[in-house]
Amino acid sequence: MSLIWLEIVLGFGVPIAWGLWELWSLRRLRQRDEAAHAEALKPAVASGTAASPAPTDERNA
């Protein structure tokens, strides 16, 4: 009886945990990229030569 629970945990729990980990990792990467982009725009904004901000991707919002 205890082996069925092990199979359930390994069969469902591990893939779900991995998927959540990947989503969390992608979110952190996106936040880091947005922060780097904002940091790169600071000198141009300060000098008044900034181009319009990059369009946001609706799928990642």
Residue 17 covered by a domain: yes
Q: Is residue 54 part of a domain?
A: no
pLDDT of res. 1: 67
- Please write the tens of the pLDDT for every residue from 4-43: 999 998 999 999 999 999 999 999 999 999 999 988 888 7
Name the domain count of the chain.
1
Give a yes or no: residue 9 inside a domain: yes
Q: Is residue 1 part of a domain?
A: yes
Domain containing residue 37:
1-41
**All residues at 6 or more sequence positions from 54 whose CB lies less than 8 Å from its CB, including other chains:** 37
Residue 50 in domain: no
Q: What is the pLDDT of residue 9?
A: 87
pLDDT per residue over 45-58, tens digit each? Answer: 677 765 666 666 66
**13 within domain boundaries:** yes
Q: Is the pTM of this model over 0.75?
A: no
Cα torsion 16, 19, 23, 26 to 10°: value is: 160
Nearest-5° angle of CA 43, CA 48, CA 49?
A: 80
